[in-house]
Structure 1
Amino acid sequence: MNLKNLSAQSKKHKKILSHLNQKKIFKIYNKFSSSLKTKEDLAVAVSGGPDSLALAYLTKCYSLENKIKVKYYLVNHKLRKESSLESEVVKKILKKIDIQCKILNWNGKKPSKNIQATARNKRYSLLANECKKNNIKYLLLGHHLNDLYENFLIRIVRGSGLNGLISFSKNTKYRYQNLKIIRPLLNLEKKDLLFISKEVFSFFVKDPSNINEDYKRTRIRKLIYSLEKEGLDIKKLKLTINNLKDSDKSIKFYVDRNLEKNLVFLKKKNIYILNNNFFDQSHEIIFRSLTKIIQRLGKKYYPVRGKSVNELIKGISANSFSKVTLGGCFVERANETIIISKEN
């Protein structure tokens, strides 16, 4: 690159970073930066909504300050006739801050049921494959504090246990590849991200699904708004979630201790032998311990259904229990012990 081009690029980068001179944006960026804390190359999922555009801008500033490479990907689901045009508009908008965004198209037949869940799985698959091609280990998503609350209430409606209620975390691992998903905006409110999008881009895409009450998340979002008008304290809700996370850590400690002291793993035979003390614990400890063993031995990403594990625990406590198949494993009684082996 010649000196003239270097000078032009330097001016462009200064212009991008100049938004940080605003006190509010600088404060938001500091929260984002302290939450990220990585110097490796990254990928960013962009949708065109205010959350992802704010994420794109904050990550661009972070990459300039830390001299790292970042790839930006936009998944075009093609579920709406205008989505392809919107994708191109977003790509053009991002060029204003020197971002080259690649559009990943979801081609083929589209679902008529479970549309959001299927689209989400396809989106992650397309993003993960692109990250793998470019040897990128970290993918940033634009989920924020309001999403955390929505997810919490959705899990309550579904009757999730403690582990499910606090499962929406800053760092997770994608199930099919060695890809770590990071949500660096989880401590930021949506209104802050809207502010950045308006100040930096004067633009964002309004997704019609966000107001479509056929979707549970939209209905939950309206419920939160109604509860806020009735006096729901969002800060207290966050405190509740954090307290539940602390309780979850305590339970995990006792689960790990149960797994360490009250079972034997025979590596050559690939079986677990559980002694009587394994079941001399609280129900939650037994439940999580069994779930972990079956998931590990059965080599499943998702754990077996809680209802099935509860039925197994109930069965083991009965004298009539002999053998069941669950999660790709055999669970059987042998004298005073329980043996868990992989189903062939």
Structure 2
Amino acid sequence: MTGPSGSGRDARAPVTADDFSRLMMPFGPFEAAPRLGVAVSGGADSLALTLLAAQWAKARGGAVLALTVDHRLRPDSAAEAARVGAWLAGEGIVHRVLEWDGAKPDSDLQAAARAARYRLLGEACAAEGILHLLLAHHRDDQAETLLLRLGRGSGLEGLAAMAAERPTAWGRLLRPLLPVPRQTLEATLRRRGQDWIDDPSNRNGVFARVRLRRLAGGLAAEGLTAERLAATAGRLARAQAAVDAMVAEAAARHVSLYPAGYARLRPAVLAALPEEVGLRLLARLLLAVGGEAYTPRLERLERLHAALTAGLETARTLAGCRVVPLGGEVVVCREPARVEAPLAVVAGGRLRWDGRFEAVAASDAPPGLSLGALGAGGRRRVAAAMGRKPPDAVPACAIPTLPALYDARGILAVPHLGYNRDGAGCVLRVLRAVPTHVLAVSACAGGNRHYL
């Protein structure tokens, strides 16, 4: 392996501008004057990435927007974000702090914080028209991720660890530093005379990653070095890419996605696919419809897959979705109990609701509106208001999860059912399904990628 991570290279040597150009090359081509978002916490890895990315973008006539998410979980977090902003201002780099407001969950706080972080970063990039968000995960992170997922019994997709590139609804996530050791990034900052913030959670043994880090020396003595583990993840990623191509073909042929935010699939088709392809297709479908941050645990996915291929008789739930048999098909729709609470609609404003729908309000929309789920009783109320049964184009199981516009009097509009009280159709200029996760990715001729 050559470049900044090469085994023949001193890990204490910094990443140069030429090194970083080579690291960015696989993600090209980029637009003229590329604009990049960079997630920066102030740690050595993300700060080094920000400085290198800014240098790379400037050399091409572009610029970087550095984004720090303040989760408000530690008393020093605001001061640390301000310190990062001051450092970057000295380098001429635009910096913005994104705050995670609202109540924090009592359980699984790390997962919730991670989901909030990606949501806030994605929203910021979408608002700025930025198509590329750089993340600072490096070789040591990749090795730890492989070990963590191995301990959880993950399948091929999980053991391929973190992808260097991942598509999103607004653009893509890029991890150019995956081949680079942590030590090299720290050396890069030392060469520049740049300090960094040491997050105390990186020493807290309550976290599995910290415990694995403490075992690194013993693992390396047995041949499980970070370099070898990361290389293994890379080889598994190649196998995953081959499976992904088959998943993309199966998705294009056999899955129907609908503007109302649900999908249809024939279990007989799922049973005819190789099991790994079928499992992957099912996982991607659940992510696309349910909007959850992560793929469901493999054992739960395997149970659902087995039930589907054996002939599903009753509805199942998994990953924020309901899977409902309907004739010779199954409908995959959002689980009503997991739907996001209503969001306020502001005249001329844009909002993303439930991780599934994007809405833009008309500039003359009245005050006091909100967008939320229609709910279990909504269909009956809409039917009574319309004086007839709503159209059956949307399966009954998906109707409670449809986006509905509310005012002080109740349901104002349900666009997917054609219901508009008081001519409310002009209140929303845009209401469209924009899944957080694409269904499948395949490589096309010339190295281009096709997203479903």
TM-score, structure 2 normalization = 0.60
**Are the aligned partners of 2:36 and 2:63 in contact in 1 as well (CA < 8 Å)?**
yes
| Structure 1 residue aligned with 2:265 | 272
| Structure 2 residue aligned with 1:123 | 117
Identity %: 27
For residues 109-141 of structure 1, the C-alpha deviation after alignment (integer angstroms, 9 at most, x for no partner) is: 444443322222222222222223222222111
Deviation at 1:195, TM superposition (A): 0.8
* Pair 1:57-2:47 in alignment: no
> Which of 180, 189, 199 does residue 207 from structure 1 map onto?
199
**Are the aligned partners of 1:93 and 1:201 in contact in 2 as well (CA < 8 Å)?**
no
Query: Could you tell me how far apart the structure 2 residues matched to 1:171 and 1:78 are?
Result: 29
| Structure 1 residue aligned with 2:68 | 74
Letter in 2 for 1:200: R
**Are the aligned partners of 2:154 and 2:298 in contact in 1 as well (CA < 8 Å)?**
no
Q: What secondary structure is seen at the aligned counterpart in 1 of 2:163?
A: coil
**Are the aligned partners of 1:266 and 1:272 in contact in 2 as well (CA < 8 Å)?**
no
Deviation at 1:259, TM superposition (A): 5.7
| Structure 1 residue aligned with 2:129 | 135
> Which of 82, 105, 113 does residue 99 from structure 2 map onto?
105
| Structure 2 residue aligned with 1:310 | 302
Query: Could you tell me how far apart the structure 2 residues matched to 1:109 and 1:322 are?
Result: 39
TM-score, structure 1 normalization = 0.77
Q: 1:112 to 1:23 in 2, by over 3 A?
A: closer
Query: Could you tell me how far apart the structure 2 residues matched to 1:44 and 1:242 are?
Result: 23
Q: What secondary structure is seen at the aligned counterpart in 1 of 2:120?
A: helix
| Structure 2 residue aligned with 1:180 | 172
Q: 1:231 to 1:160 in 2, by over 3 A?
A: closer
| Structure 1 residue aligned with 2:85 | 91
Q: 1:129 to 1:291 in 2, by over 3 A?
A: closer
* Pair 1:34-2:25 in alignment: yes
Q: What secondary structure is seen at the aligned counterpart in 2 of 1:159?
A: coil
Deviation at 1:23, TM superposition (A): 8.1
**Are the aligned partners of 1:325 and 1:331 in contact in 2 as well (CA < 8 Å)?**
no
Query: Could you tell me how far apart the structure 2 residues matched to 1:231 and 1:307 are?
Result: 29
Q: 1:162 to 1:41 in 2, by over 3 A?
A: same
Q: 1:287 to 1:63 in 2, by over 3 A?
A: closer
Query: Could you tell me how far apart the structure 2 residues matched to 1:264 and 1:27 are?
Result: 44
Query: Could you tell me how far apart the structure 1 residues matched to 2:170 and 2:46 are?
Result: 23
**Are the aligned partners of 2:142 and 2:233 in contact in 1 as well (CA < 8 Å)?**
no
Q: 1:328 to 1:88 in 2, by over 3 A?
A: same
**Are the aligned partners of 2:314 and 2:325 in contact in 1 as well (CA < 8 Å)?**
yes
Q: 1:192 to 1:292 in 2, by over 3 A?
A: closer
Deviation at 1:199, TM superposition (A): 1.6
| Structure 2 residue aligned with 1:16 | none
> Which of 299, 319, 340 does residue 330 from structure 2 map onto?
340
Q: 1:24 to 1:144 in 2, by over 3 A?
A: closer
> Which of 325, 328, 332 does residue 316 from structure 2 map onto?
325
Paired residue total: 313
Q: What secondary structure is seen at the aligned counterpart in 2 of 1:66?
A: coil
Letter in 1 for 2:331: S
Give unmatched runs, 5+ long, in structure 2: 1-12, 333-396, 399-452
Q: 1:219 to 1:63 in 2, by over 3 A?
A: same
Q: 1:259 to 1:99 in 2, by over 3 A?
A: closer
> Which of 159, 168, 187 does residue 195 from structure 1 map onto?
187
Q: 1:57 to 1:80 in 2, by over 3 A?
A: same
Letter in 2 for 1:273: R
Q: 1:134 to 1:81 in 2, by over 3 A?
A: same
**Are the aligned partners of 1:329 and 1:340 in contact in 2 as well (CA < 8 Å)?**
yes
Query: Could you tell me how far apart the structure 1 residues matched to 2:71 and 2:287 are?
Result: 32
Query: Could you tell me how far apart the structure 2 residues matched to 1:63 and 1:151 are?
Result: 29
Deviation at 1:194, TM superposition (A): 0.4
Deviation at 1:190, TM superposition (A): 1.0
| Structure 1 residue aligned with 2:213 | 221
> Which of 242, 245, 251 does residue 243 from structure 2 map onto?
251
Query: Could you tell me how far apart the structure 2 residues matched to 1:218 and 1:229 are?
Result: 18
| Structure 2 residue aligned with 1:286 | 278
For residues 179-199 of structure 1, the C-alpha deviation after alignment (integer angstroms, 9 at most, x for no partner) is: 321111112111111011112
**Are the aligned partners of 1:44 and 1:73 in contact in 2 as well (CA < 8 Å)?**
yes
**Are the aligned partners of 1:28 and 1:192 in contact in 2 as well (CA < 8 Å)?**
no
Query: Could you tell me how far apart the structure 1 residues matched to 2:103 and 2:202 are?
Result: 23
Q: What secondary structure is seen at the aligned counterpart in 1 of 2:201?
A: helix
Q: 1:329 to 1:208 in 2, by over 3 A?
A: same
Query: Could you tell me how far apart the structure 1 residues matched to 2:309 and 2:70 are?
Result: 51
Letter in 1 for 2:265: Y
Letter in 2 for 1:341: V
Q: What secondary structure is seen at the aligned counterpart in 2 of 1:84?
A: helix
Greater percentage in helix: 1
For residues 2-32 of structure 1, the C-alpha deviation after alignment (integer angstroms, 9 at most, x for no partner) is: xxxxxxxxxxxxxxxxxxxx98624533333
For residues 227-254 of structure 1, the C-alpha deviation after alignment (integer angstroms, 9 at most, x for no partner) is: 1244434433233222212222333344
| Structure 2 residue aligned with 1:235 | 227
Query: Could you tell me how far apart the structure 2 residues matched to 1:116 and 1:299 are?
Result: 20
| Greater mean deviation of Cα atoms: 123-132 or 186-195 | 123-132
Query: Could you tell me how far apart the structure 1 residues matched to 2:104 and 2:301 are?
Result: 34
Letter in 1 for 2:172: K
Query: Could you tell me how far apart the structure 2 residues matched to 1:107 and 1:316 are?
Result: 40
